[in-house]
Amino acid sequence: MPGNSLRILVLENDSFQRVVAVNMFRSLGCHEVFEASDGSEALAVLQQVGVVDIAVCDLQMEGMDGLAFLRRAAKSGQVKSIIVSSALSADLRRAAHQIIGLLGLDLLGDVGKPLYAEALEPLLEKFQGTGARVNTPDAEVQLACEDEVRQALVMQQLQAWYQPKFDLQTGEVCGVEVLCRWLHPSKGILPPAVFLPVLERCGLMDELLFAQLDQGLSLQEQARVQGFPLNMAFNLQTAQLANGQLTYTLKGVLARYATQGSRLTFELTETGLLQAPAASLENLVRLRMMGCRLSIDDFGAGYSSLQRLCQLPFNEIKLDGEFVRNLEHEPRCEAAISSALALGKSLGMSVVVEGIETEAQFLRLQAMGCLEGQGYWFARPMSGPDLLSWLQQREMDVAC
């Protein structure tokens, strides 16, 4: 049974469906299942029983509705994950998904109505496999202090990590995205959320970029010698484009490693690009003149002006992973991905789909004609030495 140790709260307006849901969870091995008919009752239950692992939440109810409950639950930190169970239309449920994310809650899944054990069981297994965190103030990311971050940069504790990109049709590795992790001497591996905001506030993003370029290009050469030519994709903030020395410094780095700009991609989020000043546009053009590829990252997450985007010198669209996460349950997401593929083709831009986490997503995207993608289904971010070992092991597995 997948749910032996889980604590479940069923928030359902209809009494019959509520009884069915409670019995269903118990049949799946959940011994502690609580119930409520509206948001107010659910909050009272939480006050009495404490934190629950999963709240199965209807959205439209008499009294306090599901949205109000979610807002209150996010503040109290008494719910670890949410399963949406609602008869509302798909577009309204998808909007609710966005609200859940903005509230900082973990959306485990959307099972619609009526409930089926076949849909719930894998979600219980998913929760136990990922160990969803409790959304409490203590669990919020604590930013490191400025002095410590500055020292970490000087001591080269901020290390480049790499997540492979794949050709979805052939399965071959076609490049890597360069990310960053803090190898803290006493706290272990720390995520970017701990230190990136500090670097931004202190104006140190350029120093981080060029440190990552040094690490990435060194690894790129090692991989090339071993027979693995990799394009390296570096994240670049829109504000960094205002640096008039950006491309000149980059040319010096490329010369030092005797490599070409065509082996690099720079990923920029679309936020801020639409109002980019002339100096920023000049740098974009210079990067393309150097042979570098330019990718619009998280495309679709902002409010794109297609006319403006068509005027910018990008040659790659990187589609936001939110579309893939809802691909199997939301027809509009499939339509959006298809539209992005068509847009990319008409503009002569390649399209990379990120956030691929399941085989079903991969197979659907492959059938839709997607050519490139990345996500945990293929490979998680890894250190440089681990990447080289992973590439070698993968080659041996393919040979066998």
264-273, 327-336, 385-394, range with greatest mean pLDDT: 385-394
Examine the domain organization and report whether 178 and 270 are in the same domain.
yes
Distance CA 326, CA 329 (A): 6
**pLDDT of the residue at 297:** 86
Q: Mean pLDDT over residues 5-31, rounded? A: 90
173 & 258 share domain: yes
What per-residue string of b and e applies to 298-321 under the rule 16 or more CB within 10 Å gives b? bbbeeebeeeebeebebbbbbbbb
Band of the pLDDT at 177, cuts 50, 70, 90?
very high
pLDDT average, residue stretch 144-163: 95
Same domain, 86 and 234: no
Number of helices and strands (H, E) in the chain?
A: 15, 15
- Is position 354 annotated as part of the catalytic site? yes
- Do 109 and 168 belong to one domain? no
pLDDT of residue 203: 92
Average pLDDT, stretch 118-140?
Answer: 65
Catalytic residue among 177, 330, 354, 372: 354
Most distant CA atoms of the chain, gap in Å: 71
Residue 128 tokens read as 């136990």
Same domain, 172 and 304: yes
* SS3 state of residue 171: coil
The pLDDT, as a whole number, for residue 300 is 67
> How wide is the angle at C-alpha 196 spanned by C-alphas 194 and 199, nearest 5°?
120
For residue 57, the enclosing domain spans 7-139
Instruction: Give the residue from 22, 115, 124 showing the smallest Cα distance to 81.
Output: 124
Residue 138 confidence (pLDDT) = 40
Residues 83 and 157 in one domain: no
Instruction: Please give the pLDDT value at position 2.
Output: 57
Last residue of a domain, one of 79, 111, 139: 139
Say yes or no to pLDDT of 302 above 70: no
CA nearest to 286, candidates 256, 264, 313, 323: 313
Shared-domain flag, residues 64 and 125: yes
The mean pLDDT value for 53-67 works out to 90
| Final residue in a domain of this structure, among 122, 139, 156 | 139
- Flag whether 2 is in a domain: no
Decide if 289 is inside a domain: yes
User: Within a domain: residue 130?
Assistant: yes
Residue 290 clears pLDDT 60, i.e. is over it: yes
In the chain, what is the straight-line distance between the N-terminal and C-terminal CA atoms, in Å?
A: 37
CA distance 24 to 350: 46
CATH, residue 27: 3.40.50.2300
Strand 231-235 to strand 173-184: parallel, antiparallel, or no bridges (unpaired)?
parallel
DSSP readout, 172-228?
-EEEEEEEEEEEETTTEEE-HHHHHHHHHHTT-HHHHHHHHHHHHHHHHHHHHHTT-
Q: How far is CA 163 from CA 134, 230, 233, 267, 374, in A?
A: 27, 11, 10, 14, 8
CATH number at residue 294: 3.20.20.450
- Are 206 and 354 within one domain? yes
Provide the domain count of the chain: 2
pTM of the model as a whole: 0.70
Would you say residue 292 lies in a domain?
Answer: yes
DSSP character at residue 259:
-
Average pLDDT over the chain, rounded to whole?
A: 87
Non-local CB neighbours of 82 within 8 Å, separated by 6+ positions:
54, 55, 57, 70, 100, 105, 106, 107, 108
Which string of b and e fits 109-143 if b means at least 16 CB within 10 Å? bbbbeebeeeebbebbeebeeeebeebeeeeeeee
124 and 247 inside one domain: no
Rounded Cα gap, residues 369 and 169, in angstroms: 8
322-356: per-residue pLDDT in tens? 889 878 777 888 888 999 899 889 888 999 999 99
Q: Do 380 and 251 share a structural domain?
A: yes
d(CA 244, CA 145): 29
Domain-embedded: residue 179: yes
Q: Which of 139, 166, 194 is the last residue of a domain?
A: 139
Domain assignment of residue 84, yes or no: yes
Q: Is there a single domain that holds both residue 17 and residue 160?
A: no
pLDDT exceeds 60 at position 137: no
Q: 353 and 212 in one domain?
A: yes
Of the listed ranges 100-104, 205-209, 315-319, the least confidently predicted one is 100-104
On the question of pLDDT at 135 being above 60, the answer is: no
Confidence of residue 210 (pLDDT cuts 50, 70, 90): very high
